[in-house]
Amino acid sequence: MSIVTIGEFLKSTRNRIGLTQKQVAKQLGVTYFVIGQWEHDYAPIPPHRLVALAKALQIDPLELLAYYKEKPAYQAVFELIQAEKKLSASRNAILVGTASIPVYTVNAGWRAFTEQRGRLEVPEAFGAPGDVIACYVDGDSMEPDFSDGGYVVAHKRKDFRNGQVCIVCKCAGEEDNPDNLITMKRVYQQEKTSLLLVPINPSHDPITVSLTDPEVRIRVFPVVAKWMKVE
């Protein structure tokens, strides 16, 4: 009998390598009930679980993504995997045609880029290492377009378009100044006096940042790439 659903494919692959649902679930940090739902086609595999599931089943993630063609929620994962396949034969090698840049956390509650969360290899087409910054998304203010645990790359030397998603840095004096702000929002310039920072998630309130205070430095970095967290 030919395999026609992703659930049947998952079960067949798991049985072929001799793993139980519990063993696969343990590798993913979920319950075996979740694995059962996927294998019976009761629920889709969430995009952020897909790569880890493929690793547990010892298969190429593209074999799973083939079942989710044309579904926007999975497009970011597909693009990242395709880019990695083209750019590198090994995740541990220095990638030809890429740049290694630091990764920081971006959240409305953060005051400065002080804690690195590692490094990320990005295509050189994004810009020189000094021109771009990678950020780990912390929080749900930009859901569903930018998910908690995902990554974005922003360009520090490009001008932003009105309504574009950007990393916004408001700096006034010392790093621990409570008025400082680092966040990711849609940015709208209001005349020449202020910026309106609008979250995509309607449960969060917009933020207005004044442009008239000479003691405050505002920097806006437009986001040029995003992808889901890849485990």
What are 126-159's pLDDT values in tens digits? 666 667 777 777 777 888 877 777 777 888 788 8
Residue 212, classed as helix, strand or coil, is coil
Spatial separation of the C-alpha atoms in residues 135 and 126, rounded to whole Å: 14
Overall CATH class of domain 6-87: mainly alpha
Q: Which two tokens stand for residue 78?
A: 């597909």
For the chain, give every domain's residue range. Answer: 6-87, 98-227
The answer to whether 55 and 82 are in contact (CB under 8 A) is: no
The answer to whether 9 and 67 are in contact (CB under 8 A) is: yes
CATH number for the domain running over 98-227: 2.10.109.10
Instruction: Tell me if domain 6-87 and domain 98-227 are identical in fold.
Output: no
Contacts of residue 154, defined as CB under 8 A and 6 or more positions apart, other chains included, come to 132, 133, 134, 135, 166, 167, 221, 222, 223, 224
The answer to whether 184 and 142 are in contact (CB under 8 A) is: yes
What does the pLDDT look like over 182-213, one tens digit per residue?
788 899 988 888 999 998 888 888 988 888 88
Spatial separation of the C-alpha atoms in residues 75 and 58, rounded to whole Å: 22
What does the pLDDT look like over 34-78, one tens digit per residue?
999 999 999 999 888 888 898 899 998 888 888 888 788 787 777
Strands 116-123 and 181-190: unpaired
